[in-house]
Amino acid sequence: MKSQEYFDSRYPIWRVLRDDGTLDPELDPRISVQDVVHIYRYLVLTRTLDRRLTALQRQGRVGFHVGSLGEEAAIVGAAFALRESDWIFPCYRELGAALIRGLDLQRFIDNMFGNRNDTVKGRQMPDHYTCREKKFVSISSPVGTQITQAVGFAWGAKIDGQDLATLVFFGDGATSTPEFHSGMNLAGVFKVPTIFLCRNNGWAISTPTSQQTASETFAQKGEAYGVPGIRVDGNDLFAVIAAVRLALARIEAGEGPTLIEALTYRMGGHSTSDDPDRYRGDEQLRPWQERDPLERVRQYLVLHGAWDDAKQQRLDREHDENFKRAVARAEATPPPSLESMFDDVYAELPWSLREQKEQLLQGPRAPKGH
Partner 1 sequence: MPQMNMVQAINDALRVAMSADRRVVLLGEDVGKVGGVFRVTAGLYDEFGADRVIDAPLTENGIIGAAVGMAMYGMVPVPEIQFADFLWPAYEQVVNELSKYRYRSGGEFSASMVIRTPVGGGIRGGHYHSQHPEVQFVCLPGIKVVIPSNAHDAKGLLLSAIADPDPVVFFEPKRVYRAAKGEVPSGDYRVPLGKAAVVRPGRDITVLAYGAMLYEALDAASKVAKQGVECEVIDLRTLWPVDIDTIVSSVKKTGRVAVVHEAPRTMGFASELITLVCEKAFYHLEAPPLRITGFDTPFPYALEAEYMPLSHRIVPAVLQAVRSG
Segment (H or E) for 148: helix 145-159
E strand or H helix that includes residue 106? helix 105-113
* Residue whose C-alpha is closest to residue 280's, from 215, 216, 204, 176: 204
Q: Please identify which residue in 16, 95, 147, 198 interacts with partner 1, judged by CB under 8 A.
A: 147
Binder of partner 1 out of 152, 226, 274, 318 (CB under 8 A): 152
Q: Which is nearer to partner 1, 154 or 248 (CB)?
A: 154
Nearer to partner 1 (CB atom), residue 171 or residue 183 = 183
CA distance linking residue 282 with residue 180, whole number of Å: 31
Q: Which residues belong to the active site? A: 266, 270, 279
The least CB distance from residue 257 to partner 1, in Å, is 13
Residue type present at position 321: E
Q: Which member of 22, 35, 163, 189 binds partner 1 (CB under 8 A)?
A: 189
> Where does residue 302 rank: exposed (0-12), middle (13-18), buried (19+ CB within 10 A)?
middle
Give the shortest CB-157-to-partner 1 separation in angstroms.
6
Residue closer to partner 1 by CB (options 142, 335) is 142
Site string for partner 1, 191-230 (x = CB under 8 A): ----------------------------------------
Chain-centroid distance of CA 235 in Å reads 14
Q: Which stretch binds partner 1 (CB under 8 A): 55-63, 68-76, 301-309, 349-357?
A: 349-357
Q: Which is nearer to partner 1, 256 or 293 (CB)?
A: 256
Residue 281 Cβ vs partner 1, minimum distance, rounded to whole Å: 35
> How many residues bind partner 1, per CB under 8 A?
47
CB of 105 to partner 1, least distance (A): 18
**Shorter beta-carbon distance to partner 1: residue 195 or 237:** 195
d(CA 312, CA 309): 5
DSSP string, 56-88: HHHTTSSS-----TT-HHHHHHHHHHS-TT-EE
Beta pairing, strands 166-171 & 229-233? unpaired
Question: Residue 165 and residue 148: Cα distance in Å, rounded?
Answer: 14
Our CB check for partner 1 shows the closer of 22 and 337 to be: 337
Within positions 84 to 143, which residues make up the interface with partner 1, using CB under 8 A? Answer: 89, 118-121, 123-124, 128, 130-132, 137-138, 140, 142
| CA atoms of 117 and 23, how far apart (whole Å) | 44
Site mask, partner 1, residues 308-347, x = CB under 8 A?
A: -----------------------------------xxxxx
Our CB check for partner 1 shows the closer of 167 and 230 to be: 167
Smallest separation, CB 107 to partner 1 (Å): 11
Kindly report the number of other CB atoms within 10 A of residue 358's CB atom.
Answer: 11
Considering only CA atoms, which of 305, 345, 290, 336 is closest in space to residue 36? 305
**Contact between residue 181 and residue 145 where contact means Cβ atoms under 8 Å apart:** no
Among positions 44, 99, 151, 330, the unique one binding partner 1 when judged by CB under 8 A: 151
CA proximity to 134, closest of 174, 160, 104, 94: 104
- Min dist CB 206 to partner 1, Å, is 23
Query: Shortest CA distance to 213 belongs to which of 202, 228, 227, 224?
Result: 202
Query: For residues 132 and 108, is the Cβ–Cβ distance under 8 A?
Result: no
One character per residue 154-183, x = contact with partner 1 (rule: CB under 8 A): xxxx-xx-----x-----------xx-xxx
Phi/psi region, residue 137 (left: phi>0; alpha: psi -120 to 50; beta: rest), is beta
Q: Please provide residue 250's backbone torsions phi and psi, each rounded to the nearest 5 degrees.
A: -65, -40
Which residues bind to partner 1, rule: CB under 8 A? 89, 118-121, 123-124, 128, 130-132, 137-138, 140, 142, 145, 147-157, 159-160, 166, 178-179, 181-183, 185-186, 189-190, 343-347, 350-352
